[in-house]
Amino acid sequence: MRKKTWYTLLALLVVAAGYWLETKGVDRESYLEQLHVDWGGNTSKNDTIYQDGSHFLPSSTTGQIIHHKGYSLSYSEPHEQAEWVAYKLEKEHLSGVDYKRPYFEMDDAVISGSAHWRNYKDSGYDRGHLCPAADRKFSKEAFTETFLTSNVSPQEHQFNSGIWNRLEQKVRFWASRYDGVYVVTGGILKEIDITIGEEQVAVPKQFYKIVLDYNSGNPKVIAFLIPHEESDKPLYDFVVSVDSLEVISGIDFFSSMDDDVENRIEAFEKWENWHF
DNA sequence: CTGACTTAC
DNA sequence: GTAAGTCAG
């Protein structure tokens, strides 16, 4: 074959590979069906419990619950961020491609308007993902969707890239190990001392994360409450009960769950059942 | 992985 | 605004 032919074939291969990477992951149809059904279409359906045990949305203290395709959130306008972000992390979600990070955008679904990214500019704080970008890498659409300011809290870089990052990686490990987990996460929006930007985005003093394993036999839950500062301590040092987290945050986390199950798992503060 | 920043078009 | 490359925890 002549050189020119080789180059042509090579170019075609590159284009094909690019297209493949672009569309790789769960295809759009099943992606939408899976995620949308899991979390329901609107707030009024939150008291429904699906047979597969999904749909564990927390209560909203702000009355503004928003459902995106890849996650749901409750937006607190006074704090210009979500009080919680909830999503289901499937085992299959984990395989993915490295997408280029897009720019953060405002969330049009937030009626009152979510924070502008300029609030974070030169603030010294990271735009810290609540639903991590790495948890939505199964499609470019899902990945991009995490770059909304409604999915972001001001975080110190040392914290975000440190212990918080460690926790997020642990959640992905659990999702793989336990065949999928439910995640609820956010900052504690109480006793705010520091705000950033013109819109006064609140800087939480603590961040929490709740992980629910509803797939491997007996449901089990683990909750973390971590001070907004870098720490070298092991993650299990920050385990708390869901009950205490509900008191601190004012949010009812598993209100749609069977009371029996809810009462059984929420009081637990033990982490021995979880692999670290 | 988690990010910000700079430079080019 | 988009794209690509660099740098840092």
The CATH class, in words, for A45-267 is alpha beta
A165 nearest nucleotide via C1' and CA: B2
Could you tell me the CA-to-CA distances from A170 to A48, A66, A125, A132, A147 in Å, in that order? 29, 26, 23, 12, 21
Please state, rounded to an integer, the average pLDDT across all residues of chain A: 83
- Confidence band for A22, pLDDT divided at 50, 70 and 90: very low
Please say if A79 is a catalytic residue.
no
How far out from the chain centre does Cα A110 lie?
17
**Of A41-55, A129-143, A196-210, which range is least confident?**
A41-55
| pTM recorded for the entire structure | 0.83
A160 is in an annotated binding site: yes
pLDDT in tens, A167-201: 999 999 999 999 999 999 999 999 999 999 999 99
Q: How far is the CA of A104 from the C1' of B9 (A)?
A: 21
The domain limits of chain A are: 1-40, 45-267
Of A52-61, A125-134, A148-157, A185-194, the poorest mean pLDDT is in: A52-61
Q: According to the model, what pLDDT value does residue A180 have?
A: 94
pLDDT tens digits for range A67-87 = 999 999 999 999 999 999 999
Provide the CA A160 to C1' B6 distance, Å, integer: 23
